[in-house]
Amino acid sequence: MKNWHNATRTVQTEAGEIHILGVTPPDVLEELGIDVMMKAFRPAKRQKEALVEISRLEDGKVTTAQIDGEIVGYVTFHPPDDFQRWSQGPDNVLELGAIEVAPRFRNTKIGRQLLEVAFDDARMDDYIVLTTEYYWHWDLEGTGLLVWEYREIMRRIMEHIGMEVKDTDEEEICSHPANILMVRYGCNVPEKKIRSFDDLLFTDGFGIF
């Protein structure tokens, strides 16, 4: 695991103090509970297991929001999977793999603060960070939002920490117009690596992806 800078923050809410931990080690994650309603990607118990696995990766990073020993929000970072085109580029690419906040805390801006704490780390400026936002992961039923309203919220949250929308012909992004690819280029990333990543946004016509 990289020697990430472990920023922290305490947020006051009506339900009590929420502690945000910029880097949550696997041994800490194993001891924490998780809100049972955190099931946007998989059942809560399995999601916690996934968080532990990500935290054990060499470039893995898990930022959590906790209250009373329970995870009520998280952001994950990890290298792109080998089957993704993003893994074919420079070696300093991280994927913001998931962000989720328990429904009971969604009006407390915890998602935005999770991202702020996660990026309050000078080492993040050494990376190109991407996120793929797919509408089928969004809790449209629980929030009562239309797909385009939810998309706008996600776009604004990601732009808040320096991400920008990028055009691409990546198949899953193109499968629905609400899906988004967003990218943040760390200020320490060499121009050569930025160009190398940008070359991955569109295929070259020879089917290399």
CA distance linking residue 201 with residue 181, whole number of Å: 10
**Beta strands in the chain, from DSSP E residues, in sequence order:** 8-13, 16-21, 33-34, 61-67, 70-78, 93-101, 128-133, 164-165, 180-185
pTM assigned to the model: 0.91
Please state the rounded mean pLDDT for residues 109-123. 94
3-state secondary structure of 54: helix
Which residue did the predictor score with more confidence, 46 or 6?
46
3-state secondary structure of 4: coil
CA distance linking residue 185 with residue 129, whole number of Å: 7
Instruction: Please choose, from the candidates 139, 48, 133, 125, the residue with its C-alpha nearest in 3D space to the C-alpha of residue 94.
Output: 125
Q: Is the pLDDT of residue 184 over 70?
A: yes
Instruction: Please choose, from the candidates 109, 118, 101, 111, the residue with its C-alpha nearest in 3D space to the C-alpha of residue 55.
Output: 118
Q: What is the mean pLDDT of the chain?
A: 92
Cα 157 to Cα 42, 94, 100, 121, 135: the distances in Å are 23, 18, 12, 18, 15
- Non-local CB neighbours of 206 within 8 Å, separated by 6+ positions: none
Q: What backbone phi and psi angles, to 5 degrees, belong to 113?
A: -75, -30
CA distance linking residue 140 with residue 149, whole number of Å: 9
Residues 134-155: tens digit of each pLDDT: 999 888 888 899 999 999 999 9
